[in-house]
Amino acid sequence: MMNTSSSPTKPPLNPSEITETLTKILATNTTSTSLTSSISEFIPHLTPGIIHTIISSKTLKSNPQALLNFFKISQIHAPNFVNGSPTTLPSFFVVLQTLFAHNKWSDAKALLLSFIGADTRHRLLRSILHPTRDIPRHSKALYDTAIGAYVQMGYPQLAMIVFRRMKRLRICPKLITCNTLLNSLVKHSSSRSILYSREVINDAILLGVVPNVNMFNIMINGYCLENKFGDAKDLMKKMRESNCLPDNVTYNTLLNALCKKGRLNAVRELLLDMKNQGLFPNRNTYNTLVHGYCQRKGCLTEATHIIDLMTQNNFLPDLWTYNTLVSGLCDEEKIEEAIKVINKMEDLKLFPDIITYNTLIDGCFKCKKSSEAIKFLDLMSERGIKRNEVTYNILIKWYCREGDMDKVLETINDMEASGFSPDSVTYNTLIKGYSKVGNLKEALKIMKEMSGRRLKMDTFTLNTILHALCLENKLDEAYEFLKDAKKQGYIIDEVSYGTLMMGYFKNENFEKGMNLWDEMKDKEIVPSVITYNTVIFGLCKWGKMEQAITKLNELLENGLSPDEKTYNTIILGYCWEGDVEKAIQFHNDMVKNNFKPDVYTCNILLHGLCSKGLVEKAFTLFNTWVSNGKTVDLVTYNTLVSCLCKEGRIEDVKELVLEMKEKNLGPDRYTYNAVLGVVNDGGKNEEVDDLMEKMIDWGRFDDLDSSGGVEELDGSSGGYSENIDRLCSEGKYRDAIEKSGQLSFDSSEKKVKQEFLHQRIQGMVYGLLRNH
C-alpha cells in the first residue's frame, strides 16, 4: 500500500516565478540583514541571467539601496556570480547607473573599488573602453568615478587610460577628477609621469575644464620631484596667463625643492619674485626654507639666517622650527651649536620638549659624546620630561653600536619598568646589534621572539638580517633568505636588493650582483639613489666605467638626485682605472652642476695622483683645497706624507706633520710607518732623526690599536714583550713594530696598553735611528 500521509513534493520554481517573487520582495525590503533571510530559499536557484533580469527591472530603479544590497548578497552567495568575474559585469553596470542616478556617489565608488580589487585581469577596464550591447551606455559620472577608483587602488596608469577614453568621446571631466589623476601621476615613480601629467592638463583645458591654482600646484610639485625647475617656473608663467595667480603653496613647493638641491641663488631670486608679486613669506614659507636647508649638507648657516630673517619679519620661530634646526645640526655632528640653539630657545620662552631632547641625545651618541648624552638625560628628568619609547630606543641603539649587549638588556628592563613594551624598532635594533657583534644565532632568535609577540616584522628586519649574512660572507644563505622573504610576509624593497648586490660586488661576484639588479627591475621595484650608488660602485670596481656613467644618466632621467657618494664613487672608479685626468675632469664638470666635493673627494683624488707619481699636482690640489677653507682629515695628510716620503721630500713632510700636530690630527701609526720607510730605505738621516724625535716626544702611540690581535696582553704577556725585545736586539725593528701591532687589549687595559706600546715603540724607533 502507498503511504498517503506524506506531503507532496513542491514543483521546482521556474525563472520567471523567481524573478517576479524576488522583485516584489526587493521593492519592499531595504535592509541587508532582513533581505538575506527573506530570499535565502531562492539563492541556490539564482543564475547570472536571473540576477541581471531582476536588477534591470524598472520597478527597482527607484530603490537603489535594495538593488545594491541584492547585488552584494548575490556576489557572496549565488553560484557563478563571484566579484570580479565577467558574468557579473552587465548587472554591475546597471547597479552603478542606478546609484549615479540617485547621487549615491560614495556607494558607487565603493562598489567600483571592490570590483577593481578582485579584477586581476582588468575586465572592467576593457568593458569601459569597449562596452558590449548588454551593458548600459556609460555616463560621464562613471568615467569620473572610475578614474578616482583606479587612482585610489594604486593604478594611475589605468586611470590615465580611462581619461584618454573621455578625451576621444569629447567628455569633459570634473576638475576634481583631473586634480586627483594629476596628483597620483606626479607621485608615481615612472619615467613617463611628467609626460602624462602634461597631457592631462593640456587635454583637460581643451575639453573645457577651467584650471584652478591647485591643478597648477600639483604639476609644479611634479616638476620639482623630478628636479625640472625650469619647467616649474615656465608653468608659473602659464598660470598667470590662465588667470590663476601663484599662491604661497606654489612658491613654498618650489622653494623647498630648490633648497634641497642647494640652489641658493635660485632661492633668493624666487623669494624676490614672490615679494614683487605681492606675496610675502608666511610661517610655512620660513619653516619650508629652514627644513630644506637643514636637509642639505653644508647649508646650516643659511638655515640660521632664515630664522633670523623670520624674526625680523615678525614671524617668531616656533618649536618645530628650532627642532628642525637642532636636528640638522646634530646630523652634521655640530653638537655645541645645537646646544646654543637650545639656549636661545629658552631665552625666547620656547622650552625644549621630548623631541628636542631625543634629537640632542641621539646626536651626542652619534658624535661619541656619551657623557654629554647622559647629562641631557638627567636634565630631562630634572625638568619633569619623562623618557618615552623613542628615548629608550635611542639608548638601545647606541649601546648596540658599542657592542655592549649587557647594557642593552639592562635598558630594556628599565624600559619595561617604565611602562613601555619593546616595539618593532626595539627588536629591529636588537637584531642589528647582535648581528654587529657576530651573534647571528641570537639575532635570528630575537626575530622568532618578535614573531611570537605578533610584532610587525617589517622590511627593516629583513634588511638587517640580510646585512648580517652579507657581513659574514654568507651570500648564498642571504639570497635564499631573500627568496623566502615574501612567503614569510615581508615586503622586499630596493634596500633588500641593494644590500645583497653590495655583498656580491665586494666579493667580486659582479655578474650575480648585476643579475639581482635586473631581477629587481623586472619586479618593478624602483631603485633609490642608494641602490644606484651600489650598482655604480659594482660597475666601477668591475672596470665598466661607461656602464657606470650610463647608470648615472639613468638616475638623472628618473628624476633622482645624485649625492656626494654617487660622484665620489665614479671619481674613485676612474682612479682605479688609473685615469686620474678623467677623474679630475669629471670632478670639475660635476662641480659646475652644484656637486659639493667633500673630504672624501679630496682624498680619492690625492691618492689617485700620488699613485701615478704626480706629486706636484697632488701638492697643488692639497694647497688649493686648504686655502679654500675646506676640511681635511688624517687620511688626507697621511696620503700626502706617504707620497712625499717615497719621493724623499723630508722638508715638506716635516711641514705637513707639524700642521697635523697643530690641527690635532695626528701623527698616527701610518705616519710613523711612512717616515720609518725613509729610514729603512736610507733617507736623509739627520732630517729624519729630527722628525722622528719630535713625533716620539708627542707620544701619539695611543692610535696603535690592534687590528685583530692574536694574543691578549694579560699577566703572562711578559713572554710576548721579550719576543719584541729579542727582535729589536737582532736589529729587526720593522718586524718588532709589526709584532706590536698584533696585540689586542681589553677595554679595561687601555691605560696599560698605551704605556706598554709607548715604551716599546720608543725603543724600536730609537733603535732604527741609531742604525742609520
Q: What is the pLDDT of residues 144-185, one digit of tens each?
A: 999 999 999 999 999 999 999 999 999 999 999 999 999 999
Q: Which of 245-254, 404-413, 446-455, 716-725 has the lowest mean pLDDT?
A: 716-725
Q: For the chain, what is the mean pLDDT? A: 82
Q: Which of 3-17, 532-546, 610-624, 652-666 has the lowest mean pLDDT?
A: 3-17
> How far apart, in Å, are the Cα atoms of 284 and each of 213, 225, 316, 369?
18, 19, 12, 34
Rg, the chain, Cα only: 35
| Residue indicated by cell numbers 679630475 | 584
Cα torsion angle, 709, 711, 712, 714, sign: negative
Residue 724 has pLDDT above 70, yes or no: no
**Among the residues of 102-169, which ranges form H helices?**
105-118, 123-129, 140-152, 156-168
Q: What is the pLDDT of residues 507-527, one digit of tens each?
A: 999 999 999 999 988 887 778
| Residue indicated by cell numbers 633648497 | 259
Q: Which of 467-481, 560-574, 583-597, 748-762 has the lowest mean pLDDT?
A: 748-762
Q: What is the pLDDT of residues 188-212, one digit of tens each?
A: 766 678 889 999 999 999 999 999 9
Q: Are 763 and 728 in contact (CB under 8 A)?
A: yes
Closest to 294 in 3D by CA, of 285, 277, 306, 283: 306
612 DSSP assignment: T
| Kind plus residue range of the DSSP H or E element containing 33 | helix 32-39
Give CA–CA dist 285/290, Å, rounded: 9
Residue 705 has pLDDT above 50, yes or no: no
Hey, what amino acid is at 768? Answer: L
Residue 21 has pLDDT above 50, yes or no: yes
Q: Please state, as a whole number, how many other Cβ atoms lie within 10 Å of the Cβ of residue 308.
A: 10
Considering only residues 606 and 755, tell me which one the structure prediction assigns the higher pLDDT: 606
Q: What is the pLDDT of residues 70-112, one digit of tens each?
A: 999 998 888 888 887 888 999 999 999 999 999 999 999 999 9
Considering only residues 288 and 571, tell me which one the structure prediction assigns the higher pLDDT: 571
Closest to 131 in 3D by CA, of 103, 94, 156: 94
Check residue 648 and give its pLDDT. Answer: 81
| Residue indicated by cell numbers 694579560 | 714
pTM: 0.54
Check residue 60 and give its pLDDT. Answer: 87
Give CA–CA dist 650/643, Å, rounded: 11
**Among the residues of 135-247, which ranges form H helices?**
140-152, 156-168, 175-187, 193-206, 213-225, 229-241
Name the band, by pLDDT with cuts 50, 70 and 90, for residue 128.
very high
User: Apex CA 94: angle with CA 92 and CA 98, to 5°?
Assistant: 120
For residue 243, give the C-alpha cell. Answer: 588667470
Name the band, by pLDDT with cuts 50, 70 and 90, for residue 753.
very low
Check residue 729 and give its pLDDT. Answer: 52
570's CB contacts (< 8 A; 6+ apart) are 536, 540, 545, 548, 549, 552, 586
Considering only residues 697 and 505, tell me which one the structure prediction assigns the higher pLDDT: 505
Q: What is the pLDDT of residues 546-569, one digit of tens each?
A: 999 999 999 888 767 788 899 999
